[in-house]
A and B are shown apart, each in its own frame.
Chain A
Amino acid sequence: QSALTQPASVSGSPGQSITISCTGTSSDIGGYNYVSWYQQHPGKAPKLMIYDVSNRPSGVSNRFSGSKSGNTASLTISGLQSEDEADYYCSSYTSNTALAALAVLFGGGTKLTVL
């Protein structure tokens, strides 16, 4: 199982908007609406920010939004704040019908720097 593809890093200034992409295949992102996004600060556990492509858990700021087009999912953060500086990971359910394997794939992670 190959990881989903994310940019290694993105940056933005406070108040700006940024988008992190996550590219997979028709067997994962393109085939199912089970894309999630996680925020991880150094030394901390990941935190769920978006689930099922575009849903926000209770307590997550509405500055975070998710979308999907074809085999690519995106996380957009608007009104960047210093506390948004963290690593972000996408994940997706995947099925490999050839092997009858079901699994979860993660992206390699994107380091967001708030300038």
Chain B
Amino acid sequence: QVQLVESGGGVVQPGGSLRLSCTASGFTFNDYGMHWVRQAPGKGLEWVAFIRYDGRNKYYSDSVKGRFTISRDDSKSGLYLRMNSLRLEDTAVYFCAKSPGGWAMDVWGKGTTVIVSS
């Protein structure tokens, strides 16, 4: 079945770096754009980044622009989020999500937790 599994979360100090991964299965990965969305503890959803199906265009929220980089490896059905210069406010559960076309998110992973703490 269609599935997304995130990994790579953990505890990191402010200013540190982390790389999240999302492994897709059950669909033709290189046909679809992919999103990262996060949710801080007790808060709402916040869109983080999007990469087109062909990887040519990438978009970021203002809060992570210049610090985070989204990428994909279609040979591995993998989506990635490189996070640098992490801040306390980056603490959240990070979800990857598939775009069916348009800007919706029709399949979600269960999320991976990132905690930025000194």
**Chain A residues within 8 Å of B106, by CB:** 48, 51, 57
B46 to chain A: closest residue by CB: A106
Contact present for B44 and A51 (CB under 8 Å): no
Q: How far is the CA of A105 from the CA of B97 in the complex (A)?
A: 15
Contact present for A46 and B108 (CB under 8 Å): yes
Which residues of chain B (6-45) have a CB below 8 Å from chain A? 35, 37, 44-45
Which residues of chain B (66-98) have a CB below 8 Å from chain A? 95, 97
Of the candidates A52, A89, A93, which one forms a contact with B45 in the assembled complex, judged by CB atoms under 8 Å apart?
Answer: A89
With contacts A89-B45, A103-B61, A104-B35 taken as known, whether A46 is within 8 angstroms of B103 at the C-beta atoms is: no
Contact present for B102 and A52 (CB under 8 Å): yes
Contact present for B109 and A1 (CB under 8 Å): no
**Chain B residues within 8 Å of A93, by CB:** 102-103
Q: How large is the interface on B (under 10, 10 to 19, 20 to 34, 35 or more residues)?
A: 20 to 34
Contact present for A104 and B102 (CB under 8 Å): no
Q: How far is the CA of A1 from the CA of B64 in the complex (A)?
A: 12
Of A45, A47, A106, most buried by chain B (CB within 10 Å of CB) is A45
Task: Give B residues with C-beta under 8 Å from A.
Answer: 35, 37, 44-47, 50, 59-62, 95, 97, 100, 102-106, 108-111
Does A86 count as interface, using CB distance less than 8 angstroms?
no
Contact present for A104 and B47 (CB under 8 Å): yes
A58 to chain B: closest residue by CB: B106
Of the candidates B35, B60, B104, which one forms a contact with A51 in the assembled complex, judged by CB atoms under 8 Å apart?
Answer: B104
Does A102 count as interface, using CB distance less than 8 angstroms?
yes
With contacts A1-B61, A36-B103, A103-B61 taken as known, whether A91 is within 8 angstroms of B108 at the C-beta atoms is: no
Of the candidates B45, B61, B97, B104, which one forms a contact with A109 in the assembled complex, judged by CB atoms under 8 Å apart?
Answer: B45
Of the candidates A102, A104, A109, which one forms a contact with B44 in the assembled complex, judged by CB atoms under 8 Å apart?
Answer: A109
With contacts A45-B109, A46-B95, A46-B105 taken as known, whether A51 is within 8 angstroms of B47 at the C-beta atoms is: no
| Nearest 3 A/B pairs, CB to CB | A51-B104, A104-B47, A45-B108
